[in-house]
Structure 1
Amino acid sequence: MSNETLAPQPRPQSLADLFMSFTLLALQGFGGVLAIVQRELVEKKRWLTPEEFMEDWAVAQIMPGPNVMNLSMMVGNRYFGLPGALTALAGMLTVPLIIVLLLALMYSQFASHPGVAGALRGMSAVTSGMIFASGLKLIPALKNHPLRQGVALILSAICFICVGLLHIPLLYVLLGLGAFSWRLVFKKLGK
């Protein structure tokens, strides 16, 4: 065995480290921080493995509330219990809330300016690209998943077709594909 496999996984040093890390994560994203959270928590800080991130992200998506908030609480809870969950959530909310309130005041003054509308449309395109890029980065982690990459990618494509092209409500698609995927995994793990 190599030393790399024996080394303990890095973790936040303190609640203050957790708070600052999630504050910085929240400040880096606008309209969605999935790409940034994945890069920071998995690639840079290595608080989560790619597999742990995918599992936690899947749970965070089905829980009520914003996905990244759910994930932050799960990570905080993993290392510090309830105080960690609340600290990570506070890190995600405190400074961004202040900034959003200030931006709302500014937006009320400049909302009719065409440059503001164009900038917001441009940011939404960039955010979509970042989310897509994060999905592509996570594909290698599917090699260790019981369904394997091929089946997982087919299910992803079916989900995209149902929601994006056929406009079936996401809740129904997730319930249907989620139940089907669960059954496939359960069957495969049962062997």
Structure 2
Amino acid sequence: MISPSADADHARPQPQSLTDLFISFTLLALQGFGGVLAVVQRELVEKKRWLTREEFVEEWAVAQIMPGPNVVNLSLMIGHRYFGFRGAMAALAGMLAVPLVVVLLLALVYAQFAHYPQVAGALRGMGAVAAGLIAATGLKLMGALKTHPLGTPICTALAALCFAGIALLRLPLVYVLLGLGVVACTLTYRRLAP
């Protein structure tokens, strides 16, 4: 993870309190039906500016390899960055408390209307929209690869191999992650070594 200098941290906007963290992550979670990557990137990088694009890409990469939901991992890391353990718990509560109530209410409603074909069609349509949001966010974040030690072409090739392994060849995620992750880490280490 990038640790910005103390001067850069003070110049950059940051959450003002634990309540600010809680409310910010609650609003993020409530916007993210079907996937919050696009929403999280827009809110934390572009609107709030709590992270730079490069920091977001690095934090997101770490959040993805940790067990559990990616955005929950990211909320813990960001909360801890600004307020330590208490910040991590406030961000986690924001990600889970209100959305849990909403999901429970939606589950009750879904149980009443699940047998209607229109409901199944609506859910399939929402899945397509979520996939589009994730693809658009990935394209938007590609600019951050310009500063990566491997450069855009190698990173793009690794992403294409990952897509081919998971989507086309249907390889288990753990094998693709371990295989390409070791290759990417080794190549990056060699580029960074003096």
Shorter-chain TM-score bucket reads over 0.9
Corresponding residue SS for 2:11: coil
Partner in structure 2 of residue 49 of structure 1 = 52
User: After superposition, where does 1:1-191 map in structure 2 within 5 Å?
Assistant: 8-191=11-194
Distance 1:66 1:107 in 2: 23
Specify the SS of the correspondent of 2:184.
helix
Runs of 5+ consecutive residues of structure 2 not aligned to the other structure:
1-7
Partners of 1:121 and 1:142 in 2: CA distance? 32
What is the aligned residue count? 187
User: Any gaps of 5 or more consecutive residues in structure 1?
Assistant: none
Say which SS state the counterpart of residue 86 (structure 2) adopts: helix
Runs of 4+ in 1 over 4 A off after TM superposition: none
TM-score, length-normalised on structure 2? Answer: 0.94
Distance 1:79 1:6 in 2: 10
Q: TM-score, normalised by structure 1?
A: 0.96
SS at 2:120's partner residue? helix
Aligned match of 2:5: none
* SS of alignment partner, residue 121 of structure 2: helix
Q: How far apart are residue 6 of structure 1 and its match?
A: 9.9
Matched residues in 2 for 1:6 and 1:174: separation? 32
